[in-house]
Structure 1
Amino acid sequence: MAKKRAVSNLMALAVLSTVVVRDLHPYEMAGVLRGWGKDQDVPIKWGSLYTVVRNLAKHGLLEEVASGREGRRPERTVYRITPAGRAELADWTRELLSAVEHETPRFRAGLSVMSVLEPGEVTTLLQQRVAEVSAAIAAASEQLAAYAEEVPRLFLIEIEYDIAMLRAEAAWMESLIAEVAGGTLPGLEQWRYFHETGRVPDDLAETARKSVEK
C-alpha cells in the first residue's frame, strides 16, 4: 500500500531526483527535467513547479542555500536536498519499484464495455490501436537507439519498459483480434446475437439477474 507522504505529487519525486545531483534553482530544475525527459516519465505541470518546490522546502525535504538577482531578472532561490529529502527520495523509489498498485487505464475501461459495439467494429478499432501502438514502439525504439550512443543503459531503463509493455499490449490485441475473426472467442455468438436482434440472450440475462440478487 502506498505510504502517505508530506508531498505526494510525483512531480516532487522528479524534482528531488534532479536536486540530488547538485543545488539548483527552480528554473534550472525545469531545464534538467526537460533535458532528462522526466516530463515523459511522470505527470508534470510546469505551472506548479514553484509550488511543489516550496512545499518540499516547507516539509524539510529541500532547503534554501542562496538567493540572488541578475540584472532585471526575478530573484532566484537555489535549493539543496536535505538528509530528509534524500531519505524520502530513496524510500519513495523503493515503494514505486516494489509495491503493486491498482491502476485503471482508459483502454481497460473501454475493454470492459466493448460489447456495446458489434464484433466487427471492435475488431476494426483494435486494429487501429495496434497500428498506433506499433508506431509508438518504433518511435520509442528510435529514441532509445539515439540516447544509447551517449547515455548509460541505467538511465534508459524506463524506455525499455515502455517498449516491452507496448509490445505485450500489441501481441495481446492481435491475439484477441484473431479470436474474434476466427470465431473462437467464448461468448461471441451471444455477442453477435445481441447486435443482430437487439435482445439480450437468455443465459446472459439470467446471469445479470443473479448478480443483482446477490
Structure 2
Amino acid sequence: MLGLAVLAAVVERPMHPYEMATVIRERGKDQDMVLKWGSLYTVVRNLHRHGFIEVVESARHGGRPERTVYRITDAGRAELQDWVRELIAVPEREPPRFKAGLSVWAALDPDEVTSLLRQRLARLDEENSAHRAALDEYRREVPRMFLVEAEYDLALREADAEFTRALLDELARETFPDLQRWREWHAEGGAAT
C-alpha cells in the first residue's frame, strides 16, 4: 500500500521521499491505508527499479544529505491506474479485530461481554459523531470526489455501531439464543455441557 500512496503522491508533481511522506500524511492517506513508514526508501527504490518512477534530480544543499527527486513515469501512471481499478472493482475480505474477538467471545462471561459492548458502543458513537462533524466541515471546502473514502469509512463505522447496538440489545434483554447455557458454562468453570 505504501507503493500505491507514493505513486498517488508523485502523480501530482516530482518529489523527494521526505516530501512524499509529508504529502501522504497531510492528505490523511496513512489513515486510509496500512503503511509501513520504515520501508519508504525501499519502496521508492523498488518503484524506481521497476520503472514506475524516475530521477529528476539529485542535489545536496549545505550540510544536508543528498535529496533525490522522483517523478512518475508513464509506466508508473499505468500501474497506479491498474492498481486503483483492482482495489475498487475486486472485493477483498479483510477481517477486523472485532470479528476475531466475536469468534472467541464465549471465553468471557456474558455479563462481561455486555459491559464491553457498552464500552465499544459508547466509543463508536462518540467517534462517529466526530467523524460526521469533520466530514460535514470538509464538504464545505473539499470536492466530494476527494471525500468518498471518508464517507465509506463513516458508513462502515455506523454499520458497526448498529450491529453492536443490536447485539447489546439482545444480551441486555436476554433474548440472545443459548444465553442461559453460556452463563451455566461459565458458572461451571467453562466445562462442556
CA distance in 2, matches of 1:171, 1:146: 24
Residues 72-131 of structure 1, C-alpha deviations (whole Å, 9 max, x = no match) = 222111111111111111111111112122222111111011111111110000010011
Q: Deviations over 1:22-41 (max 9, x none)?
A: 11111211121111111111
Equivalent residue, structure 2, for 1:200: 192
Q: How does 1:13-162 map to 2 (within 5 A)?
A: 13-162=4-153
Give the whole-Å Cα distance in 2 for the aligned partners of 1:178 and 1:26.
Answer: 50
Aligned partners of 1:162, 1:103: CA distance in 2, in Å?
14
Q: Which amino acid aligns with 2:100?
A: A
Paired positions, count = 192
State the Cα distance separating 1:62 from its structure 2 match.
Answer: 0.7
Runs of 4+ off more than 3 Å:
none
Instruction: Tell me, in whole angstroms, the C-alpha distance in 2 between the residues paired with 1:181 and 1:30.
Output: 47
Q: Distance in 2 between matches of 1:63 and 1:49?
A: 16
SS in 2 for 1:177: helix
Residues in 2 aligned to 1:35 and 1:146: alpha-carbon distance in whole angstroms:
17
Q: Secondary structure at the match of 1:80?
A: strand
| CA RMSD, Structure 1 to Structure 2 (Å) | 1.4
Amino acid at match of 2:96: P
| SS class of match (1:149) | helix
Give 1:142 shift.
2.6
Deviation at 1:44, TM superposition (A): 2.3
TM-score calculated relative to the size of structure 1:
0.85
Q: Separation in 1 of the partners of 2:40 and 2:137?
A: 29
TM-superposition CA deviations, 1:151-191 (whole Å, max 9, x none): 11111111111111111011111101111122221222221
* Structure-2-length-normalised TM-score: 0.93
Name the CA distance, whole Å, in 2 between partners of 1:197 and 1:27.
58
**Partner of residue 11, structure 1:** 2
User: Aligned residue for 1:183?
Assistant: 174
Which blocks of at least 5 consecutive residues in structure 1 are unaligned? Answer: 1-9, 202-214
Percent identity of equivalent pairs? 55
Cα-to-partner distance string for 1:30-74 (whole Å, 9 max, x where unaligned):
121111111111122333211111110011111111111222222
AA aligned to 1:29 is M
Work out the CA distance in 2 between the residues paired with 1:162 and 1:32. 21
Q: Distance in 2 between matches of 1:70 and 1:149?
A: 40
